Amino acid sequence: MSPQDARTFKFIESQMFLFARGNWLPLKRVLPLYRKSRFESTYGVCDPTKGIFIRIRWDNGRPLHAYAIVDTMAHELAHLRFLAHSPNWFRLHSRILLCMSQSNLFQRLKRRMNTK
Ligand SMILES: [Zn+2]
């Protein structure tokens, strides 16, 4: 992982813990979803030990768009409480996205990803 990606990931990690705390979600750790993993075409994964994996680049090295990363962050955080894509999960996902939007997370992440 390049130093810039590592900085971007650190930011993602700290924001995930912030939004987890704000929504009473038991997040344990945030790790990068690496290239060549068994989750080739997946944006993110929430594991049974309350760890979340987030992808910031595709296997060909192309970075994911900031909006896709923010959406995945909210998606996987909501899975900490609801495993299935149920109406309850969708409601929590939407609520977390709203919190993220109110804190300008999309703009802040986009700015970081474009800074060399
Ligand atoms: Zn899901």
Per-residue pLDDT of the chain (116 residues; tens, 9 = 90+): 889 999 999 999 999 999 999 999 999 999 998 766 666 668 888 888 999 999 999 888 899 999 999 999 999 999 999 999 999 999 999 999 999 999 999 999 999 998 75
* CB-facing half-sphere around the CA of 48: CA atoms within 13 A: 0
CA-based end-to-end distance of the chain: 14
Determine the Cα–Cα distance for residues 110 and 37; give it in Å rounded to an integer. Answer: 25
pLDDT score of 36: 60
pLDDT score of 114: 86
How much distance in Å is there from the Cα of 97 to the middle of ligand 1? 14
Taking the CA atoms of the chain, what radius of gyration do you get in angstroms?
13
How much distance in Å is there from the Cα of 115 to the middle of ligand 1? 30
How much distance in Å is there from the Cα of 114 to the middle of ligand 1? 27
- The CB density around residue 35, as the number of other CB atoms within 10 Å, is 13
pLDDT score of 48: 86
Name the token pair of 65. Answer: 């768009």
Collapsing DSSP states into helix, strand and coil, what is residue 111?
helix
What's the CATH code of the domain at 85?
3.30.2010
- Could you list the residue range(s) of the whole structural domain that residue 79 is in? 3-114
pLDDT score of 116: 56
pLDDT score of 98: 96
pLDDT score of 55: 93
How much distance in Å is there from the Cα of 75 to the middle of ligand 1? 6
How much distance in Å is there from the Cα of 116 to the middle of ligand 1? 32
Total count of residues recorded for the chain: 116
Instruction: Say how many domains are in the chain.
Output: 1
Measured CA to CA in angstroms, residue 16 lies from 59, 60, 62, 81, 87 at distances of 23, 26, 23, 14, 22
> Residue 31's beta-bridge partner residues?
53
pLDDT score of 15: 98
